[in-house]
């Protein structure tokens, strides 16, 4: 029996449809990867969301009380390995970025203390402050992402989607986080710290204006 030849036009259509399908698979894969990156708060260095998260329940010295919060140093050395950080003798230079953190409790600012993550002359951590301006210093000898939750764990203050310290969201009294003036809808604990971010945490009544900028250059940062 003579074998029926396939229409060349049909072959061309099949080939074209196959290319369309392959292209669709690639587009879907890229989109999925981008969604995963944004879900982790913008992580792009391969640091996983689980590595950026913090189990505050297992950390000694964490405050669940009201503001103001002091820099908790007594238990810092015990917390660091549980957070996934380490004591340093000098500031790292592989990663060297800064953020500005402001916290409002019912419309009033509360101080971010100096020397968070600094144990006098003994050691300091990758995440620390030098003064009460609210500037976070991320200075590490390891290239990786760091999160807002890790900073709060170093500070010794509880942070979650619903709580900061002893202040927890309830009907009519929300807890919101803003980055550069825009509402952050993800988990603040895994929020990736990026260069020159302005992070505002607002509990209860908001201030008249949510900070969206900070003059880093005036401080040489």
- CA–chain centroid gap for 92, Å, is 19
Domain ranges of the chain: 1-39, 48-219
Q: Which candidate, 129, 140, 139, places its Cα nearest to that of 102?
A: 129
**Which stretch of 9-18, 31-40, 93-102, 193-202 has the lowest confidence by average pLDDT?**
31-40
Name the β-bridge partners of 162. Answer: none
In this prediction, residue 11 has a pLDDT band, given cuts at 50, 70 and 90, of low
Q: Which candidate, 155, 158, 142, places its Cα nearest to that of 56?
A: 158
Q: Looking at per-residue confidence, does 12 or 18 come out higher?
A: 12
φ, ψ for residue 15, nearest 5 deg: -65, -40
Alpha helices in the chain (DSSP H): 8-39, 49-52, 76-83, 148-155
Rounded CA-CA distance 77/167 in Å is 26
The HSE-up count of residue 153 (CA atoms within 13 Å, CB side) is 30
Rounded CA-CA distance 215/15 in Å is 57
In the chain, the percentage of residues whose pLDDT exceeds 70 is 77
Q: In this predicted model, what pLDDT tens digit does every residue of 153-169 receive, in sequence order? A: 999 999 999 999 999 99
For residue 28, with 0-12 CB atoms within 10 Å meaning exposed, 13-18 middle and 19 or more buried, which class applies?
Answer: exposed
Q: What is the pLDDT of residue 121?
A: 78
Q: What is the pLDDT of residue 120?
A: 87
In this prediction, residue 6 has a pLDDT band, given cuts at 50, 70 and 90, of low
Rounded CA-CA distance 109/201 in Å is 10
Helix (H, G, I), strand (E, B) or coil at 189: helix
Q: In this predicted model, what pLDDT tens digit does every residue of 167-185 receive, in sequence order? A: 999 999 999 999 999 999 9
Q: In this predicted model, what pLDDT tens digit does every residue of 75-120 receive, in sequence order? A: 999 999 999 999 999 998 899 999 999 999 999 999 999 999 999 8
> Is 90 exceeded by the pLDDT of residue 13?
no
Q: What is the average per-residue pLDDT within 131-135?
A: 98
In this prediction, residue 129 has a pLDDT band, given cuts at 50, 70 and 90, of very high
pTM to 2 decimals? Answer: 0.79
In this prediction, residue 49 has a pLDDT band, given cuts at 50, 70 and 90, of low
């Amino acid at each position: 029996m003579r074998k029926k030849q396939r229409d060349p036009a049909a072959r061309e259509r099949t080939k074209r449809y196959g290319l369309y399908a392959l292209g669709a698979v690639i587009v879907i894969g890229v989109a999925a990867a981008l969604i995963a990156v944004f879900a982790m708060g913008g992580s792009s260095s391969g640091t996983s969301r689980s590595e950026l998260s913090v189990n505050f329940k297992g950390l000694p010295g964490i405050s669940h009380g009201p503001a103001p919060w002091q820099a908790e140093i007594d238990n810092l050395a015990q917390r660091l390995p549980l957070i996934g950080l380490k004591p340093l003798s000098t500031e790292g230079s592989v990663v060297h970025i800064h953020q500005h953190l402001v916290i409002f409790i019912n419309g009033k600012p509360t101080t971010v203390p100096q020397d968070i993550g600094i144990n006098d002359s003994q050691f300091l951590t990758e995440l620390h402050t030098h003064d009460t301006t609210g500037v976070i210093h991320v200075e590490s000898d390891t290239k990786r992402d760091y999160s807002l939750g890790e900073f709060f764990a170093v500070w010794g203050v509880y942070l979650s989607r619903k709580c900061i310290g002893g202040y927890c969201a309830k009907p009519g009294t929300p807890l919101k986080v803003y980055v550069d003036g825009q509402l952050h809808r993800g988990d603040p604990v895994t929020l990736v710290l990026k260069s020159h971010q302005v992070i505002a945490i607002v509990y209860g009544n908001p201030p008249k204006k949510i900070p969206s900028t900070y003059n880093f250059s005036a401080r040489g940062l």
